[in-house]
Amino acid sequence: MKMLSALLRTLSAALLMIGGAAQARDAIAASPALWQVKDADTTIYLFGTVHVMKPGIDWFDGKVKRAFDASDELVLEIVEPDDPRAIATTMGRLALASDGVKMSDRLSEEARGKYQAAMSANGLPWQTFEIFNPWMSGMLLSVAPLEKMGYKADLGAEKTLRAAAQAAGKKVDALETVEQQVGFFANLPMDQQVQFLNATVDGLPDMEKEFGSLLRTWEKGQPDRLAKMMNESLEATPELAKVLLTGRNANWAKWIRGRLAQPGTVFVAVGAGHLAGKGSVQDQLRALGVDSTRVVR
């Protein structure tokens, strides 16, 4: 279960909107993984992203930059509103508990104490969130500690790609809406929401080590290793993984197959966890009779 929060941090850009004071480090030349799907007149690049980073990771270069430059269109998981408060408003509206049960009352005595301590330690007054459902606090605790560790959403791959696309006059589109993406969490059964929150709290002590390991794996372009790191959480929470990961992968694979009917070159950028392991977008494409190829150079 300890890997669940690390897995979930790779799934949704909506979770990773928090900036912070970053810590400099020596520049690292990264080579993240890239795939392509193509037919006679269409090429679709598939790029796995990390939503927050520290300064000094030089990833937007080489094959990734060449593929992006050759593309007419950028497609992201979501297109973030220019005003971050718009996402906060959507989250708040969907997170309000409709049954009147307080957040803390949904947790066991032991889990309640750990949850309240974790919220306080991360500058999140737990009393303020008593009116919300558990997924909201789980999302906040999945990202708030990253700010303290020096990670910045402004350095995340999506923001970099979107800024480059806008500067180049490329069309920017999305696979999902903000409301759809938040809805994946809001519509989880209550027991899974509680499970998500408890697993996130339990994973906090290992967050820096595990997220750092995931980031290094991404930098080195090792999707098989990334998949292996994710296996524990996938096996422990199959219902949650289906909603947040594999089910969405299947939808995106159908979109990609449909997009092949239109000529052009498209750069699709989604969380790296969606392009690794069993049930990945590539697996779903294969089931639809569509091949994907790893771009080496």
Q: What confidence tens digit (pLDDT) does each residue in 93-152 have? A: 999 999 999 999 999 999 999 999 999 999 999 999 999 999 999 999 998 999 889 898
Distance CA 3, CA 202 (A): 10
CA 229/CA 212 separation, integer angstroms: 12
CA nearest neighbour of 80 among 91, 71, 69, 72: 91
Taking every pair of Cα atoms in the chain, the longest distance, rounded to a whole number of angstroms, is 61
SS (H, E, C) 123-186: CCCHHHHCCECHHHHHHHHHHHHHHHCCCEHHHCHHHHHHHHHHHHCCEEEECCCHHHHHHHHH
Q: At what angle do helices 223-236 and 207-219 cross, to 10 degrees?
A: 140
Q: State pLDDT tens for residues 14-73.
A: 333 222 333 334 456 789 999 999 999 999 999 999 989 988 889 999 999 999 999 999
pLDDT of residue 135: 94
Residue 7 pLDDT greater than 70, yes or no: no
What 3-state class would DSSP assign to 120? helix
> What are 173-203's pLDDT values in tens digits?
999 999 999 999 999 999 999 998 998 999 9
Q: What is the 3-state secondary structure (H, E, C) of 245-259?
A: HHHHHHHHHHHHHHH
Mind listing the pLDDT tens digit for each residue in 200-243?
999 999 999 988 998 999 999 999 998 888 766 666 667 778 88
Tell me the percentage of the chain whose pLDDT exceeds 90: 67
pLDDT of 12 above 50: no
For the residues 246-266, what does the mean pLDDT come to?
A: 97
How far is C-alpha 283 from the geometric centre of its chain's CA atoms? 19
Helix H or strand E encompassing 269 = strand 264-271
* CA angle (157, 273, 123) in 5-degree steps: 70
- Are residues 4 and 203 in contact, defined by beta-carbon separation less than 8 angstroms? yes
